[in-house]
Structure 1
Amino acid sequence: MLRSIRRSLGRKLLVAVGLPSLAFTLALVLWLRHRTRFAAPDLEPVYGIAVIAILLFGALMGVTFALAMRWVIEQPLQRLAAGLRHVREGDYLYRLPVEGPDELGMVAETFNTTLAALTDLHARRIEDERERVLTAQLEARVKELTLLFDLARRLGGTLELDRLVATLTELVGRGLGDHAFALLLAEEGTGDLVVRSVSGLPESANGVRIRAGEGPAGWAVRERATVLVKDTGADPRRPVLAWQGEAQGSILAVPMIHREDCAGVLAFFRPATDAFPPDEVRLLESVAGQAALAIENARLHQKMVRLSQSDALTGVHNRRSLFARLDMERERCERFDHTMALALVDVDRFKQFNEAFGHAAGDGILRRVAELLAGAVRKVDLVARYGGEEFAVIFPRADRAAALLAAEKLRQAVEAAALPHDASERGRVTISVGVAVWPDDARDLGALIDAADAALYAAKRAGRDAVRAHEAGMRVHPGRRRDVRTTADAEADA
């Protein structure tokens, strides 16, 4: 009963107004009866009827009041409450009907006006949020396009593989702000992945070798597809690189594929699970495509350079490369006041070997001698095929004593190999070596080559399988055919 009264404004008004009025009327009738009871006893029945009439009238007025309250107040207020519920549920387009100019009508009109303002505010907020999202997306696209443009511009500006690797590490690894990044290149021949550059990892990671199918990077190479490990703790493809100790996170391995060849893998690590959104994965796949093309072009360029500088038969440098290096070393000698030595090497009695065993066997001997010479020199030295069965070796920053020791090492390397040569007095392949030193023996390249050739001629006169350094008078020895071909001559021959 009390709850029903508390939940209805009409009932509250009925109780607050009707009951006091009814009580007051009854009290008035009872007081009149008391005052007239003895003065007019014949009015006693009238008072009973009056009390009943008052009660009936009070009941009728109560019903009328309740209906009026329901129609005039409760229903408009219920509609107002329903409107508020619509707003609370997000229906900002709902409007209350304005049923009159009274206070409830004003409330409804005010409600509609306020709701319209809220609707406009909500619409502006939605528009602002949409603009913010669009702006953020536009900024992300601009960033991606800028990265791709810078990458294309800088990768297209060089054909040096080391510079390409450094550029990729700078733009992709550091530019995207990843926790850790590694660039792995596929090794020609084996197909293994080798770490060439890192960001956010110790430098000791460089050189780590990964086979196809090992870890996410090896899996990406084998499957020729992007591998996303959302949780390193739950994925069976355990990482091979020590990304961040044993920290759990996510790994993205994107293969750099050009046509059907995989040039390597871009590998990323973040110390959070599922940290690579789809948009970023697509961007990195585009980056990997550009990188693959640039790396393949660089490798092709390196191969073409090697072919242009290498002798087709023996694999060592050719005459063009020899004279280019001689010219460069000459400039260094003049600039820094250094010495340089040139050795000419001749395979003894090679013509007889060819006649006895054929040209195919002779070619095999030349290849083997070239391998022995290349294996017996320093990394800074250069071994080249000079022509026919002759080789040339450049010893930068070597004086006469050092050059003779190096030349003797070459002779001993061929002697120790004991390559069979039945047409030779010693029964094995031997070499003769002539050495000349810049600037002691010559001041120009033509004269330096001629001095080394004269020393080689002296080694052959001494019985072959010998090393001789240039001495005064050797170049004018009677019977020697002088070799004074210059760089220009060599380039013309090539």
Structure 2
Amino acid sequence: MLESDLRHQAAQLNTQVMSHLENVDVTFRTGVIGEHDQEFLELLPATSDIYRFKLFDDTGQVIWSTRAAEIGSVTNKTDFIATVAMGNILYNHEEKPIAEVDFFDTDKLDASAPSTRHVAEIYTPAIKDGRFLGAIEFYSDITQVRNLFITRVRLSLFVLCSIALLALTAVIVVLYRTNLQQVRVLRARAEKERELMDDQLRLAREVRLLGELNEWLQSSRSLDELFDMVSRFMTHILPEAEGSVYVYSNSRDVLDGCASWNGGTHKAHIHPEGCWGLRRGRTYEFGASEIDFVCEHAEPHDGRPYFCFPILAHGETVGLLHLRALEDREECFHASKKLAQLCAEQISMAIANVRMRDQLHDQSVRDPLTGLFNRRHMTETLRKSINRSQQTGAPLSLIAVDVDHFKKFNDTHGHDAGDMVLRAVGAALEQGCDRDEVACRTGGEEFTLILPDNTPEDAMTRAEKLRQAVEAVSVRYGEKSLPRITISVGVAHYPAHGTMPQDLMRAADDALYAAKDKGRNQVQVACGAPGNIAAPLPVQGQQRETQKSSPPASAA
């Protein structure tokens, strides 16, 4: 505060000096002080609070001073150029001997008085029209003002301390009188804050577990893996409840039990009408009303409260999440309803995603007409089967199938009839598959059957049974039955007829065309196969395509 006042006074004195000088520019540039200016400058200490001042040019050289001996000297202060020349006021407070303070009467001092005085040195820039001309340094004895200021501050602090002490005393008295009540309030508040903190920690844990549950469920590859993840996570997320999950079967007439946890059990199948949550289309909470009805799937019931959450996905009910309170955990169980609802939503989204992924995968590998695997899946499966046979030495056979005179069905009875024929052949192939065997429709009226772990003799037997099964099929179209369906079959064995997928497929196709050349409706094995079945006839590529697309005149 004192420094701020001194800076303000120095700025006023600077203005006063600059305004009284006859020619400021000439004075600071040449250092020549006129007679009138000399009189004014000499009278200034007597009419102000300063006892000494100097004028500097822009290089820091003294051009005038109340002490004539200082004229011509150069200031040694490094802050002169850095601060004053930039247009700022430089303030310096020092304690100097009394002898250096001009006009101070030392005779009036007591012997015990201090031998030093507090002096403020203030440099103010001399600026005109935005140009730095020099500086004016003022010396002021601030001892009395400083002592008075310190005395007032001490007095103020004493008064404030006295007031604070009185106030503190009053507060202590008030606190003492209300201590018991405040302690009770503080304890209640602390307990409430502790409960709030516990709730915050519990909520943070629940959010973290829900996030982890969602991440794991979204990465599951199958429903079985998904329900295993659900069982493990629900044990941690809802430790106060036992539970189980049910999912609608493909027929949607029953729900299949898929998983249970925390000591809970699930039935193999339940009916939708046996659950009040599914019947009412919303969450059912047993034990929340005066009158409750037990769901059939919750029998036998021991009176414990439970939840039934319908699992919804894309607006459709896909399953049921059933939770029942563990013994002596009913209070915590009711408080977990919202969290349980969030878990049901996470499970529903995960089930929908897995089913959608399965549907998209089926669409990418299935033939839409017959439901058999397509050529893409057949090629990939054959490659994997060959790799497995190379590693284990297990036998592998490939059967190529082509419907005889298929064009005749389309031309005579229409394409709808042809589609029915393809479906019938596809169904016969699918019924003939077992274990890891794969039936595929590779295009048009062509089919392929991959038979891992089948010896060449078994593969030939399977091919003949397939031919007989197709021949026995009767397809009705409208009010009449279509002509008898026959197939030509070619069989190739790994590794006798090839070690690469394309080689094995080519060998099976060659055997297939050999069967057609020999009159159709028969089984032929590729050239070089074991057994006593004849090898295929050599047929050139263009002739083979012609025979495949156009039946012989006699067949037509």
TM-score range, shorter chain: 0.5 to 0.7
Asked whether 1:258 is paired with 2:319, we answer: no
Correspondence list, 1:6-405, <5 A: 116-173=178-235, 175-190=237-252, 192-200=254-262, 205=266, 208-215=268-275, 219-230=276-287, 235-241=292-298, 246-272=301-327, 277-405=333-461
- Number of aligned residue pairs: give it: 364
Separation in structure 2 between the aligned mates of residue 286 and residue 134 of structure 1, nearest angstrom: 21
Kindly state the Cα deviation for residue 136 of structure 1 after the two structures are TM-superposed: 2.0
For residues 302-338 of structure 1, the C-alpha deviation after alignment (integer angstroms, 9 at most, x for no partner) is 1111011011221111111111111111221222222
Asked whether 1:454 is paired with 2:510, we answer: yes
Distance change in 2, residues 1:481/1:224 (3 Å): farther
Report the AA paired with residue 310 of structure 2: P
Partner of 1:64: none
Kindly state the Cα deviation for residue 344 of structure 1 after the two structures are TM-superposed: 0.5
For residues 164-200 of structure 1, the C-alpha deviation after alignment (integer angstroms, 9 at most, x for no partner) is 2221221124542245311111234425322111224
Report the AA paired with residue 321 of structure 2: L
For residues 57-81 of structure 1, the C-alpha deviation after alignment (integer angstroms, 9 at most, x for no partner) is xxxxxxxxxxxxxxxxxxxxxxxxx
Kindly state the Cα deviation for residue 259 of structure 1 after the two structures are TM-superposed: 3.8
Kindly state the Cα deviation for residue 135 of structure 1 after the two structures are TM-superposed: 2.1
Kindly state the Cα deviation for residue 234 of structure 1 after the two structures are TM-superposed: 6.5
Separation in structure 2 between the aligned mates of residue 232 and residue 468 of structure 1, nearest angstrom: 74
Report the AA paired with residue 146 of structure 1: R
- For the residue of structure 1 that corresponds to 2:297, the secondary structure is coil
Kindly state the Cα deviation for residue 275 of structure 1 after the two structures are TM-superposed: 5.1
- Length-normalised TM-score, structure 1: 0.67
Kindly state the Cα deviation for residue 414 of structure 1 after the two structures are TM-superposed: 1.6
Kept after mapping to 2: 8 A contact 1:341/1:395: yes
Structure 2 stretches lacking a partner, 5+ long:
1-172, 529-533, 546-556
Higher helix residue share: 1
For residues 17-64 of structure 1, the C-alpha deviation after alignment (integer angstroms, 9 at most, x for no partner) is xxxxxxxxxxxxxxxxxxxxxxxxxxxxxxxxxxxxxxxxxxxxxxxx
Higher strand residue share: 2
Greater Cα shift, 440-449 or 173-182? 173-182
Kindly state the Cα deviation for residue 482 of structure 1 after the two structures are TM-superposed: 9.4
Separation in structure 2 between the aligned mates of residue 405 and residue 276 of structure 1, nearest angstrom: 65
Compare relative contact order (CA 8 Å, sep 6+) and give the higher one, 1 or 2.
Answer: 1
Distance change in 2, residues 1:113/1:175 (3 Å): closer
Separation in structure 2 between the aligned mates of residue 124 and residue 165 of structure 1, nearest angstrom: 48
Report the AA paired with residue 303 of structure 1: Q
Partner of 2:488: 432
Separation in structure 2 between the aligned mates of residue 258 and residue 327 of structure 1, nearest angstrom: 37
Kept after mapping to 1: 8 A contact 2:497/2:504: yes
Kindly state the Cα deviation for residue 479 of structure 1 after the two structures are TM-superposed: 4.5
Distance change in 2, residues 1:445/1:238 (3 Å): closer
Kept after mapping to 1: 8 A contact 2:404/2:521: yes
Report the AA paired with residue 390 of structure 2: E
Kept after mapping to 2: 8 A contact 1:333/1:339: yes
Partner of 1:59: none
- Length-normalised TM-score, structure 2: 0.60
Separation in structure 1 between the aligned mates of residue 214 and residue 241 of structure 2, nearest angstrom: 24
Separation in structure 2 between the aligned mates of residue 123 and residue 261 of structure 1, nearest angstrom: 52
CA RMSD in angstroms comes to: 3.1
Partner of 1:477: 538
For residues 331-366 of structure 1, the C-alpha deviation after alignment (integer angstroms, 9 at most, x for no partner) is 212222222111011112212222221111001110
For residues 372-411 of structure 1, the C-alpha deviation after alignment (integer angstroms, 9 at most, x for no partner) is 2101110311111022111001011222012112222322
Kept after mapping to 2: 8 A contact 1:232/1:248: no
Distance change in 2, residues 1:233/1:278 (3 Å): closer
Kept after mapping to 2: 8 A contact 1:374/1:383: yes
Kept after mapping to 1: 8 A contact 2:438/2:451: yes
- For the residue of structure 2 that corresponds to 1:395, the secondary structure is strand
Report the AA paired with residue 223 of structure 1: R
Kept after mapping to 2: 8 A contact 1:250/1:272: no
